[in-house]
């Protein structure tokens, strides 16, 4: 698990073989290509806005948030999954 601080935006670019994930704090942090992606927030006080345009999904947080990133890989099947938890 990796903690990433003060994230203001998540950009998801959908491609036929997966999703490219980039975080912004405000500098871009490219996490890689994943087959599955989930964003979990247990706190209702961390609202965000979501846009979809031309194959890209943009998630903007109203205030900077800390995220915990967990990357799961299945080597036999070649599947990568990214779980992001809002702290």
**CB-CB contact of 22 with 69 (8 Å):** no
Q: Point out the least confidently predicted range of 25-34, 63-72, 74-83.
A: 74-83
pLDDT reported for residue 78: 84
4-26: pLDDT as tens digits? 999 999 999 999 999 999 999 98
Bridge-based pairing of strands 36-41 and 79-86 is: parallel
Q: What percent of the chain has pLDDT over 90?
A: 66
**Bond preceding residue 46 cis, omega within 30 of 0:** no
């Amino acid at each position: 698990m990796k903690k990433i601080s003060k994230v203001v935006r998540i950009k998801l670019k959908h491609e036929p073989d997966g999703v490219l994930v980039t975080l912004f704090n405000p500098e871009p942090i490219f996490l890689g290509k994943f087959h599955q992606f989930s964003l979990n927030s247990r706190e209702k006080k961390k609202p965000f806005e979501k846009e979809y345009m031309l194959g890209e999904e943009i998630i903007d947080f109203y205030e900077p948030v800390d995220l915990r990133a967990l990357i799961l890989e299945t080597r036999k099947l070649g599947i990568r999954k990214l779980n992001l938890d809002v702290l």
